[in-house]
């Protein structure tokens, strides 16, 4: 057994000063304040007042540490996973970029292989496919030459080859055939989110009726209010506020969404339906300079400057280089929300929004012992996954 003592516990609705967390095997056996703690025959980890939190769950990341999941190798998964782990991520949804079927297949193969790996890695929960069924007008940094309409023969073939590895799929619900696809995905329990979309209010309403439950990187690559023959028509952005049942994922790096926009979002949306995501690419955790968005073979050159990746013409963002600790730090500095509410946006909230059966994302008896220790600057000190210390 392992026991974290003299810690500030980050629960879903409060902080507990001078607390402990007792871990037995892979699960949390007990937790509470130190005046409830009795000496156990276990390894003691004195946190000296630092925070003990559930491990972060990043449900949208393309890579980190010089690796992209679309590189299609086990080495890329391991390299990116270890960088994410160093920044407090204990569970991850590796995310694809629109590409060839062959490149996606190689990522599928590598994902299944890395799930068999042991050692210093986060949990790879399942794949998040971003595309290829995206609106051309909202493609962002997604490569145009690989965009497609959702044909049953195509997406059913992907589902068959994936063998249950897909946990989430982002696509544009206004495309022809998109709602029929949604019915297929809903039957398989795949979480569907709207992204890279030019949908209008009625499109979003129908998408929700067919099982869509969230918006991918809120405000980025999605429609907003416009006039059609003089009448105002809501876009995806406004629907994110209007429909309470939709969860929003936000890239809280302070660049994709400036501080004032972060404050607007948390003012208007129930914080329980907000998930922080890095949407990081391979340059996350690295320095400024040129990098590659997507796989090394099919990706394109981007430039990392001032904490964000830019397209070569500097007219648009090309991806995030944020790490999970930076997201928490930015939200804490800019929104005025309590730490426990912000941490829930990257622990309990994504676990619920992804409909995970695995009990993670909370400090709770019987939950998996995926825990991190960090200081007041959100600098990660220790990381535990399934009761094993991965970083100390």
The CA distance from 34 to 15, in Å, is 13
Fold of 2-52+374-391: Urease, subunit C; domain 1 (2.30.40)
Q: Contact, 170 vs 216, CB < 8 A?
A: yes
pLDDT for the residue 313: 82
**Alpha helices in 210-347, H assignment, sequence order:** 236-242, 259-268, 324-335, 339-344
Q: Contact, 244 vs 273, CB < 8 A?
A: yes
pLDDT for the residue 254: 94
Q: Contact, 62 vs 346, CB < 8 A?
A: no
**In 3-state terms, what secondary structure has residue 282?**
coil
- What is the torsional sign of CA 253, 108, 169, 301? positive
Strand partners, 214: 193, 247
CATH 3.20.20.140 residue window(s) in the chain:
56-357
pLDDT in tens, 284-321: 988 888 888 888 887 878 899 988 988 888 877 888 99
The CA distance from 149 to 89, in Å, is 34
Q: Domain 56-357 is in which class?
A: alpha beta
pLDDT for the residue 253: 95
pLDDT for the residue 117: 83
Q: Contact, 129 vs 168, CB < 8 A?
A: yes
CA atoms within 13 A on the CB side of 120: 14
The CA distance from 139 to 60, in Å, is 17
CATH 2.30.40.10 residue window(s) in the chain:
2-52+374-391
- pTM, entire model: 0.96
pLDDT in tens, the chain (392 residues): 999 999 999 999 999 999 999 999 999 999 999 998 887 789 999 999 999 999 999 999 999 999 999 999 999 999 999 999 999 999 999 999 999 999 999 999 999 999 888 789 999 999 999 999 999 999 988 999 999 999 999 999 999 999 999 999 999 999 999 999 999 999 999 999 999 999 999 999 999 999 999 999 999 999 999 999 999 999 999 999 999 999 999 999 999 999 999 999 999 999 999 999 999 999 998 888 888 888 888 787 889 998 898 888 887 788 899 999 999 999 999 999 999 999 999 999 999 999 999 999 999 999 999 999 999 999 999 999 999 999 88
Q: Which whole-number Å values give the CA distances from 386 to 76, 119, 194, 295, 340, in the listed order?
A: 22, 11, 32, 30, 22
- What is the torsional sign of CA 129, 168, 56, 219? positive
Cis omega (within 30 of 0) on the bond before 132? yes
Helical (H) or strand (E) element with 304: strand 300-305
Q: Which whole-number Å values give the CA distances from 321 to 87, 115, 230, 256, 326, in the listed order?
A: 12, 25, 40, 11, 10
């Amino acid at each position: 057994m392992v026991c974290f003592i003299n810690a500030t516990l980050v629960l879903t609705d409060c902080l507990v000063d001078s607390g402990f967390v007792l871990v037995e095997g892979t699960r949390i056996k007990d937790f509470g304040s130190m005046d409830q703690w009795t000496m156990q025959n276990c390894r003691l980890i004195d946190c000296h007042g630092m925070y003990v939190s559930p491990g972060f769950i990043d449900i949208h990341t393309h890579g980190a540490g010089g690796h992209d999941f679309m590189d299609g190798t086990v080495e890329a998964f391991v390299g990116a996973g270890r960088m994410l782990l160093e920044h407090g991520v204990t569970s991850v949804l590796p995310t694809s970029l629109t590409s060839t079927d062959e490149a996606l297949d190689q990522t599928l193969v590598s994902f299944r292989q890395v799930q068999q790996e042991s050692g210093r890695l986060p949990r790879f929960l399942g794949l998040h496919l971003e595309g290829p069924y995206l609106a051309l007008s909202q493609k962002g940094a997604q490569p145009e030459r690989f965009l497609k309409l959702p044909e049953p023969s195509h997406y059913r073939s992907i589902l068959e080859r994936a063998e249950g590895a897909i946990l989430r799929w982002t696509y544009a619900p206004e495309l022809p055939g998109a709602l029929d696809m949604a019915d297929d995905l809903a039957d398989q329990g795949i979480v569907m989110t709207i992204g890279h979309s030019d949908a209008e209010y009625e499109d979003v309403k129908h998408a929700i009726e067919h099982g869509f439950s969230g918006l991918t990187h809120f405000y980025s690559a999605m429609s907003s209010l416009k006039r059609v023959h003089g009448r105002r028509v809501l876009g995806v952005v406004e629907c994110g506020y209007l429909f309470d049942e939709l969860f929003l994922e936000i890239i809280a790096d302070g660049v994709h969404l400036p501080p004032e926009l972060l404050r607007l979002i948390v003012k208007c949306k129930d914080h329980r339906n907000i998930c922080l995501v890095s949407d990081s690419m391979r340059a996350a955790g690295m320095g400024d300079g040129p990098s590659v968005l997507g796989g090394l073979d099919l990706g394109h050159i981007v430039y990392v400057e001032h904490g964000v990746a830019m397209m070569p013409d500097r007219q648009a963002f090309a991806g995030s280089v944020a790490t999970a600790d930076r997201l928490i730090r930015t939200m804490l500095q800019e929104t005025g929300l309590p730490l426990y509410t912000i941490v829930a946006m990257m622990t309990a909230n994504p676990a619920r929004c992804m409909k995970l059966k695995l009990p993670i994302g909370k400090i709770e008896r019987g939950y998996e012992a995926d825990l991190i220790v960090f200081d007041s600057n959100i600098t990660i000190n220790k990381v535990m996954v399934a009761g094993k210390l991965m970083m100390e």
